[in-house]
């Protein structure tokens, strides 16, 4: 409800110890728990009383649906939800297709490397070198940009 995490609760606990002191803190915590339970009980009684006064035609009324956030999610996003799930499925299919294509390309490159014609060169000093042609595309060499020439 308030979206508080562990760091916020830790800060509140330290602040409570500083303000109330370690002697009074357990009693104050008990009183706060009793107050929260009393407020929850009052809210529950109010909901039950409202349901009983509205009559049997409102038995399926859920008070959580009256929250504006839940109302928007229920009525506006219900039309969008099938589209979102379809889009997720499409993206999953595209992702698996891309992975399969990469796998096929890797396999083809590995096979091409195995079938490349190797050339062995021996020098007069007894050094043996194996030369393999490159499996990369030719590089395009462009004229360097000279800012002083403009």
Reported as a single tens digit per residue, the pLDDT across 58-113 is 777 777 777 788 777 777 777 777 888 888 999 998 988 888 888 888 888 788 77
Q: Is the pLDDT of residue 11 over 80?
A: yes
* Mutual angle of helices 68-75 and 77-114, in 10-degree steps: 60
Instruction: State the number of CA atoms in the 13 A half-sphere of 97 facing the CB.
Output: 6
In the chain, which ranges are continuous DSSP H helix?
6-54, 68-75, 77-114
Rounded to two decimals, what is the model's pTM?
A: 0.39
Specify whether the CB–CB gap between 130 and 120 falls below 8 A.
yes
pLDDT for 1 beyond 60 = no
Structure confidence at residue 135 (pLDDT)? 55
């Amino acid at each position: 409800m308030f979206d508080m995490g562990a760091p916020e609760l830790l800060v509140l606990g330290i602040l409570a110890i500083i303000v109330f002191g370690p002697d009074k803190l357990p009693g104050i915590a008990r009183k706060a728990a009793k107050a929260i339970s009393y407020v929850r009980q009052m809210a529950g009684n109010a909901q039950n009383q409202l349901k009983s006064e509205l009559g049997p035609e409102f038995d399926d009324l859920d008070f959580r649906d009256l929250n504006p956030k839940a109302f928007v999610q229920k009525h506006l996003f219900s039309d969008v939800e099938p589209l979102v799930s379809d889009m997720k499925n499409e993206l999953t299919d595209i992702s698996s297709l891309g992975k399969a294509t990469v796998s096929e390309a890797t396999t083809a490159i590995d096979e091409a490397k195995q079938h490349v014609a190797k050339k062995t060169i021996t020098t007069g000093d007894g050094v043996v070198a194996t030369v393999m042609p490159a499996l990369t595309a030719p590089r395009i060499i462009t004229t360097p940009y000279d800012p002083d020439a403009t």
